[in-house]
Amino acid sequence: MRKAIMVTMCLAAMCLVAESDDLRVGMIGLDTSHVPAFAKLLNDASDPQHVAGAKVVAAFKGGSADIESSASRVDGYTKELQEKFGVKIYDSIEEMCKNVDAVMLESVDGRPHLEQVKPVIKAGKPVFIDKPMAGSLHDVIEIFRLAQEAKVPVFSSSSYRFYQSLKDVLKKDIGEVRSCISIGPCHLEPHHPDLFWYGVHPTEALFTVMGTGCESVVRTATPNTDIVTGTWKDGRIGVLYGIRSSGTPHKVVVFGAKDVAEQENSGDYALMVVEIVKFFQTGVAPISAEETTNMFAFMEAADESKRQGGAPVKIADVMAKAK
């Protein structure tokens, strides 16, 4: 009996050590469905897809009054975090940062991301910035500059990049990749460049296949559809097919030297959260700043091409203008 009690006490002690080893995560911006979804994956050990190693313990509400889908959800998600996961709400980002090891910047509105991330960088906390990384290419460049100067790890991504179905496509033996078509949602929001709001998802998938190196962009736009064609420095072609109707599929079709591979299914948030926790633990970003910047320049160039009636726009030109 005594031996059984001792074993139980040892197991309990091990559990306490394991819990104490969990990184304390703070969230900024409680206005997106990603907030409760990520908190459940991290905090709920009974979840079949539970991601160990970090827990959400603190948050700053945020919210944008001029975006209905933000303002209408802040209070509800705040209440859910408090009641389901015991998350403490702070009145300032600065105060929250004193009580966490890492930060997830979740504000659905990309415009305040630069100002919201500044105190996080000043506090030296590794930070994941949810899509869109910012509300302009200029702000994307500035965030990376500030993080690099302060030697603070930062990365941003859409969950599409980490879907297992996309990983499976990349494993197929189709020879050297020559081109790719990425199909996905492209709903617009008037305060953001067109592709930043939802087109960022299929754009992320496109760059997952193609990598960095896009040099010029041409866009054809109608009320319901966008077709954005990028030319990479080695002659490869990447095409974004953005759709604004409901029931939008999301998939890539990859054309190789030997064969063609097509994504069969979608995915969920779990694999991205796994990568976020690894990033918090190691300080090593799974995506380079160069690739993310090139991706946002692609989307910014697409808007410029639209303004010019579908004329080709060089990435170098939009980069020079944004700096």
Q: Are residues 110 and 250 in the same domain?
A: no
Distance separating alpha carbons of residues 38 and 53, to the nearest angstrom: 13
The Cβ of residue 142 has, within 10 Å, a number of other Cβ atoms equal to 17
Q: Are residues 151 and 193 in the same domain?
A: no
Q: Are residues 185 and 155 in the same domain?
A: no
> Is 322 in contact with 139 (CB distance < 8 Å)?
no
Angle at which helices 113-122 and 137-150 pack, to 10 degrees?
A: 0
Which pLDDT does position 20 carry in this prediction? 52
CATH number at residue 8: 3.40.50.720
Q: Is 102 inside a domain boundary?
A: yes
Q: Are residues 67 and 176 in the same domain?
A: no
Q: What is each CA distance from 312 to 32, 186, 223, in whole angstroms?
A: 35, 20, 20
Q: Are residues 14 and 147 in the same domain?
A: yes
Q: Are residues 169 and 148 in the same domain?
A: no
> If phi over 0 gives left and psi between -120 and 50 gives alpha, with beta otherwise, what is residue 89?
beta
Q: Is 293 inside a domain boundary?
A: yes
> Is 65 in contact with 31 (CB distance < 8 Å)?
no
Which pLDDT does position 249 carry in this prediction? 79
Helices (H), the chain: 2-21, 34-43, 68-71, 74-85, 93-97, 113-122, 137-150, 164-171, 194-197, 200-210, 270-282, 289-307, 315-322
Q: State how many domains the chain has.
A: 2
CA 71 to chain CA centroid, Å, is: 21
Q: Are residues 223 and 126 in the same domain?
A: no
The helix/strand/coil state of 156 is strand
Q: What is each CA distance from 182 to 138, 165, 239, 255, 268, in whole angstroms?
A: 25, 13, 6, 11, 18
pLDDT in tens, 168-207: 999 999 999 999 999 999 999 999 999 999 999 999 999 9
Domain limit, last residue, from 159, 182, 217: 159
Q: Is 172 inside a domain boundary?
A: yes
CA 180 to chain CA centroid, Å, is: 21
Domain limit, last residue, from 159, 189, 213: 159
- Would you give per-residue pLDDT tens digits along the chain (323 residues)? 434 433 333 333 333 333 458 999 999 999 999 999 999 999 999 999 999 999 999 999 999 999 998 999 999 999 999 999 999 999 999 999 999 999 999 999 999 999 999 999 999 999 999 999 999 999 999 999 999 999 999 999 999 999 999 999 999 999 999 999 999 999 999 999 999 999 999 999 999 999 999 999 999 999 999 999 999 999 999 999 999 987 677 899 999 999 999 999 889 999 999 999 999 999 999 999 999 999 999 999 999 999 999 999 999 999 999 98
Q: Are residues 143 and 181 in the same domain?
A: no
Q: Are residues 240 and 288 in the same domain?
A: yes
DSSP 228-255: EEEEETTS-EEEEEEE-SSS---EEEEE
> Is 133 in contact with 113 (CB distance < 8 Å)?
yes
Q: Is 279 inside a domain boundary?
A: no
Q: Domain of 204?
A: 160-268+284-322
Distance separating alpha carbons of residues 298 and 292, to the nearest angstrom: 10
Q: Is 278 inside a domain boundary?
A: no
